[in-house]
Structure 1
């Protein structure tokens, strides 16, 4: 092979590809000595420095082994074994099930109950551009970032919040490892084990698990299609004195509900009267095309702590979220953030900043919203035909909350689905007390699948009642 100096691949990459192919085809046998660096450089007309870099890369990848004073030798390649990740059927449908599935998922499974978008729905091209941009400034990525997070991204968050009528300055913004860390920091700073907090019922399963682990007493506020049931909330406040109310205001997880203005006003009024703070989880805002009220917009961060994230709209793996709150509280949260994990990754924050500012993101969001709206409509019709009853149809976002047909137990149904590599999310996972629920959460982005609905249709022919 002659090195092509006009190729889009670097000379190092060409050498790596050549030797890797020879090792994989066993032209270069395991245990044999690779051509010496000088010999290879002379034969192919490249510098010895280029060959050294290529050999080092092959050694790092497990194809070559360096032996001091003797050169490089070909390694015995490990033979691919059976798939190590467990099938869905090997997991119990318990309170940790959805958390584990993020990391232990089956590639061929149907993730109809998960909480994230398919990889192909994200803007991969924008992420590649952002990575190339970051690579041109590597020195910025080697040191710890600002304790509050990347300054330019915090300024961008301020502008995004202003579009929701939330007035803030960069000193009121703290970047976090996704919304999960933001929620955890707030709970850690403002509660002690044994405290009572209000939560949505049903509510975000990961949050409920985290609050239970902290030893908090969870009191559920029933959800309606327009937000929490304010009459039920009023009644609960006569029995309890909560410190906080954790609530999801737009495209609620798992029901898809969004607060209307009347509900938001009444919840804020009750918080003022009874002296508790509101933690507004608004991670799905970018998926909602129409304007909707936020608690922070009506309160201007006086009694409201506002939490957002870019996981739903850019990429969950980047783990970039934020807290917007009173500046004094932000300073206290910074201390807890630094103690638990120092600064957040500056690379990830720069990537998000670049994607938000390069000019294509708004168009991507519009396309994503349209795609989800179509998926919402299709999934709603098919669930209706399968005998499910919908909580309501949000027409946007990822989730539909559906009640199983009479006589069908969602937990048993989910266990049977797992045996066929179908991930369902039974409703009890979203209850504050994990009590029985006849409901399930469906992620519409994964539900355009005939195998899923063939399974659900089989409920008419099989017994899925609890044993």
Structure 2
């Protein structure tokens, strides 16, 4: 294969030219015919050569194989709720991403994932080749139902709908429950992709300021009464980005106000496994009457395994099933769901989570100490998780800091991408697992030393 590539690159083989036959090339190179067949098949799959049945293989019109353009920071993109996602996903492999929203690879249970992959190679052929059932892979739904029952949330597996991600879960719920022009309440600040997704659904977004124990109750009740929202989306466990924890008292008042004014609550439980012990849960207190629980496994298992879920009333699940079939012809990839189920049942996974929680507690303290040396102070020290919501010194603008750091291949998460009201310009969310390299602190120190 290398020989053929070299000849094409050197123009010794021109576009449209016929390649030597398999038998002739194997004799010339003194390799087996099967080796030549494999090389030709690979080059054909890449589009470098093209087979013509009964005639042989020919060089394609492109004289050199296609090459991917190296990813570079997009310095021209305006900072909006999609900015951090686009920069984190598209920047090159050698970049630093303390602004991204997932654990770095060394924090993930990679050995358990590899064992699960080997196990899946021996699974039923239907899992590998067929579409899955509309609700999603049954063993994973049954496993989740048992986990929820252990919390006190009694649900049947038929009340759990698997999705391709937590984001798809919210998208389906917006399609099911909202119309363009409806109003949705969000915490302010909140996970930036909530805003981006709601914008795509053409709804009005109202922010409610966050406190250390949940949304500001007076402002929440006022917004529910005056703005008539159809939906409220929040994180209960380890709020993103603030790290706040919902108190039982605030949870009770939220549910009372929502019930009185007909508000549906979507509770994103994606960070629950990072808690040292469970905090108040709206879905548990409500019994899934007006609360819908969603989640995924991208934070604790793998960001590459795209699998999420919705837990809701049976009548709502039935309506969501039709939407899921219409938009994606069923649930998530059965292979991904089976892989998640296999890992979750691995006896090492629970131990892994315990180790991660302990490591994160130390890492949050260490990173907070190093940031303090730069005048960057956490708004609060969260009970768990990997994010610190930090105030910048001297009322520095987080957007300007992020743009300056991007030139040194460091992706930061400026405060206003999280803020509905754009009231967090001098804040920044820091992922402590992505701050292991001294380069990140050096870049922060340099850009903070620059004049406003």
Scaled by the length of structure 1, the TM-score of the pair is: 0.86
Of 364, 373, 376, which aligns to 2:352? 364
| Aligned positions of 1:418-437 closer than 5 A | 418-434=406-422, 437=425
- The question of whether the paired residues in 2 share the 8 Å contact of 1:87 and 1:105 is answered with yes
Task: State the number of aligned residues.
Answer: 444
Q: Please tell me whether residue 309 in structure 1 is matched to residue 279 in structure 2.
A: no
Give per-residue Cα distances to partners, 1:178-233, cap 9 Å, x unaligned.
11011111111111111122111101111111112222221211111222222322
- Indicate if the aligned counterparts of 1:23 and 1:63 stay in contact, CA closer than 8 A: no
| 1:375/1:448 contact within 8 Å kept | no
Contact 1:378 / 1:448 at 8 angstroms: preserved in 2? Answer: no
CA distance in 2, matches of 1:45, 1:415: 54
CA distance in 2, matches of 1:37, 1:165: 69
Q: 1:64 to 1:455 in 2, by over 3 A?
A: same
In the alignment, is the contact (CA less than 8 A) between 1:149 and 1:174 conserved in 2? yes
Name structure 1 gaps, 5 residues minimum: 1-19
- Secondary structure of the 1:103 match is helix
- Seen in structure 2, the aligned counterparts of structure 1 residues 28 and 415 have a Cα distance that, compared at 3 Å, is closer
Give the distance between the partners of 1:426 and 1:315, measured in 2 at CA: 25
Alpha carbons 1:28, 1:74 under 8 Å: kept: no
Q: In terms of mean alpha carbon deviation, does 290-299 or 65-74 score higher?
A: 65-74
In structure 2, which of residues 378, 382, 402 is the aligned counterpart of residue 394 of structure 1?
382
Instruction: Report if aligned partners of 1:422, 1:452 keep a CA contact under 8 Å in 2.
Output: yes
The Cα RMSD (Å) is 2.9
In the superposition, relative to structure 1, how do residues 39 and 385 fare at CA in structure 2: closer, same or farther (>3 Å)? Answer: closer
* Displacement of 1:460: 5.3
Distance 1:117 1:363, change over 3 A: same
SS at match of 1:318: coil
- Give the unaligned 5+ runs of structure 2: none
CA distance in 2, matches of 1:65, 1:212: 45
Does the CA-based 8 Å contact 2:225-2:261 persist in structure 1?
Answer: no
TM-superposed CA distance for 1:449, in Å, is 2.6
Structure 1 residues 414, 255: closer, same or farther in 2, change over 3 A? same
Secondary structure of 2:232's aligned partner: strand
Identify the range of structure 1 (281-290 vs 72-81) with the bigger mean alpha-carbon deviation: 72-81
SS in structure 2 opposite 1:306? strand
Corresponding residue for residue 121 of structure 1: 107
Distance 1:196 1:34, change over 3 A: same
Distance 2:180 2:77 in 1: 30
Task: Name the residue aligned to 1:164.
Answer: 151
**Counterpart of 1:9?**
none
Equivalent position of 1:280 in the other structure: 267
Partner of 2:84: 98
Decide whether aligned partners of structure 1 residues 362 and 332 sit closer, same or farther in structure 2, where only a CA change above 3 A counts.
Answer: same
- Cα deviation for residue 78 of structure 1 reads 3.8
**Residue in 2 that maps onto 1:249:** 236
1:70: Cα distance to partner? 4.9
In the TM superposition, residue 416 of structure 1 has moved relative to its aligned partner by 1.1
Within 5 Å, give how 1:32-111 maps onto structure 2: 33=19, 36-37=22-23, 40=26, 52=37, 55-61=40-46, 65-72=50-57, 78=64, 83-111=69-97
For residue 263 of structure 1, the aligned residue among 243, 250, 257 is 250
Per the TM alignment, residue 28 of structure 1 is displaced from its structure 2 partner at its CA by: 12
Is the aligned partner of 1:140 residue 2:127? yes
Deviations 1:271-318 (A, max 9, x none): 223331211011111222322221111122112100111111111222
TM-score, L = length of structure 2: 0.89
Moved more, 59-68 or 129-138: 59-68
Corresponding residue for 2:370? Answer: 382
**Contact 2:221–2:257 (Cα < 8 Å) also in 1:** yes
Contact 1:62/1:77 (<8 A) preserved: no
Pairwise CA distance, 1:24: 6.4
User: CA-to-partner distance for each residue in 1:400-453, whole Å, 9 max, x for gaps?
Assistant: 111111241111111111122111111111112445532111111111232222
Alpha-carbon distance between aligned partners in 2 of 1:109 and 1:73, rounded to the nearest angstrom: 40
Cα distance, 1:444–1:328 mapped onto 2, change above 3 Å: same
| Structure-2 separation of matches of 1:420 and 1:92 | 18
1:168 Cα deviation after fit: 0.6
The alpha carbon displacement at 1:38 in A equals: 9.2
Partner-residue secondary structure (3-state), 2:400: helix
> 1:146-184: per-residue Cα shift (whole Å, max 9, x none)?
111111111111122223321111110000111101111
Q: Which residue, out of 388, 396, 408, partners 2:396?
A: 408
